[in-house]
A and B are shown apart, each in its own frame.
Chain A
Amino acid sequence: MNEHLQNTITKIQARHQAEVQEFRGEFTVFIEPADIQCFLLELRDQHMFNICIDVTAVDYFPQETPRFHVIYQLYSMPYNVRLQVRTRLDGNKPHLDSVQGIYKSANWKEREVHDLFGIIFTGHPDLRRIMMPEDWVGHPLRKDYPLGYEEVQFTFNFDEIMINKPHPKD
């Protein structure tokens, strides 16, 4: 394990009592949603994690009760180490402070998480949809979002499907 990463993890564990998980040499820090801004600011300024590579989310809907995990992948350019920061969010109107003031690159990534998971980043300057059409209803990567399935056309249901299919003209 990298010396810098070891120092960082011991320091933040002492300060925040954060839960740390290790999987095959990759380290994940779990943090409370309210602390996310000051925590990432500390990581950037004091521990030199100066790049936010990615902001993603996972929906663990039926298994876990705080259903969302929002994940920040941080990278330290001077020390060449990576750190994953996770926060658990409740499914009822999920709110999280925006970190785009700390990492500029988080701007579009937060928009993407907002678009696909419906997590609201408070303080984000331009929180619009980025992947789906603007008038889209729902957030497709949530586990309870219907996948959308069209009946496959065979000879026995051909007419029935052709009635419901839109037929455009010039």
Chain B
Amino acid sequence: MGLEQKTGNMGIVTTSLEKAVNWSRTGSMWPMLFGLACCAIEMMSAQAPDYDMSRFGMELMRASPRQSDLMIVAGRVSRKMAPVVRKLYDQMPAPKWVIAMGDCASCGGIFNNYAILQGVDEILPVDVYVSGCPPRPEALIHGVLTLHEKVKKEGIKDWA
């Protein structure tokens, strides 16, 4: 009889600290409230009761970068907006992740010209890219769940 089974009978569950921390991080990953273009409409729809992203603990869009864990870059980033987006990212507290939502944020999309950043990964370290123009709310939720899978594999040392 292992320790797990014995303590389980007594109403105690043992796990590693890493797993518990990652579980809590995925359970309440609050995105930042900002959208740059049409993808933001799909992001709002993903939050709304039809698709209901609050099932995954993401019911709160934080209006301040200091309270948010996840940045969803929803839309094309123009070269004038790029320093602002980077500043917002820098203001987020340390365990933070970025989702590039849609083709424009991932690679420039249809805007292959001087005014639009060719992918937000030129200024931010992106964790998950969601394709689509714009991606449906299901696609965004799939991207978020993919990010959750990634976070569950992270070690505490990665952020220390």
Q: Which A residues have a C-beta under 8 Å from some C-beta of B?
A: 131-133, 140, 145-150, 152-153, 165-170
Residues of chain B contacted by A133 (CB below 8 angstroms): 79-80
- Interface residues on chain B, number (Cβ under 8 Å): 16
Stretch binding the partner chain, chosen from B41-49, B114-122, B137-145, B148-156: B114-122
What does DSSP make chain A's interface, helix, strand, loop or mixed?
Answer: loop
* Residue of chain A at shortest CB distance from B96: A170
B16 close to chain A: CB less than 8 A? no
* B125 pairs with A170, CB closer than 8 A: yes
Residue B147 at the chain A interface, CB threshold 8 Å:
no
Please judge, given known A-B contacts A132-B80, A133-B80, A153-B107, whether A148 and B124 are in contact too, CB under 8 Å: no
Query: Is B31 on the interface with A (CB-CB < 8 A)?
Result: no
B123 interface hit (Cβ, 8 Å): yes
A168 to B80, CA, bound (A): 18
Whether A165 touches B122, Cβ cut-off 8 Å, given contacts A147-B114, A148-B114, is yes
Chain A residues within an 8 Å CB radius of B9: none
Shortest distance from the beta carbon of A77 to any chain B beta carbon, whole Å: 35
B interface, over-half SS = loop
B15 interface hit (Cβ, 8 Å): no
Contact check: which of B79, B118, B122 meets A168 at CB < 8 Å? B122
- A149–B124 Cα distance when bound, in Å, is 21
B112 CB within 8 Å of chain A = yes
A165 to chain B, nearest CB (A): 7
Whole-angstrom distance between the alpha carbons of A165 and B122 in the complex? 7
Name B61-118 residues within 8 Å CB distance of A. 79-80, 86, 107-108, 112-115, 118
Considering only CB atoms, which chain B residue lies closest to A169 in the complex?
A: B125
Query: Complex: how many Å from CA A138 to CA B107?
Result: 25
Q: What chain B residues lie within 8 Å of A147 (beta carbons)?
A: 113-114
- In the assembly, what is the distance between CA of A140 and CA of B114, in Å? 8
Q: Which residues of B contact A166 (CB under 8 A)?
A: 122-123
A149 near B125 with CB under 8 A, answer no
Please measure, in the bound complex, the distance between the C-alpha atom of A140 and the C-alpha atom of B107, giving whole angstroms. 22
| A148 adjacent to B113 (CB under 8 Å) | yes
* 29 contacting pairs across A/B (C-beta < 8 A): A131-B80, A132-B80, A133-B79, A140-B115, A145-B114, A146-B114, A147-B113, A148-B113, A148-B114, A148-B115, A149-B112, A149-B113, A150-B108, A150-B112, A150-B118, A152-B112, A153-B107, A165-B119, A165-B122, A166-B123, A167-B121, A167-B125, A168-B86, A168-B121, A168-B122, A168-B123, A168-B125, A169-B125, A170-B125
Residues of B within 8 Å of A153, CB to CB, are 107
Chain A proximity of B8: nearest CB distance (Å): 39
What residues on A are CB-neighbors of B125 within 8 Å? 167-170
Report the minimal beta-carbon distance from B122 to chain A, rounded to whole angstroms: 5
The CA-CA distance from A152 to B119 in the complex, in Å, is 12
- Give CA–CA (A133, B123) in the complex, Å: 16
- What's the minimum C-beta distance from A160 to chain B, rounded to whole angstroms? 15
Residues of B within 8 A of A167 (CB): 121, 125
A147 to B111, CA, bound (A): 11
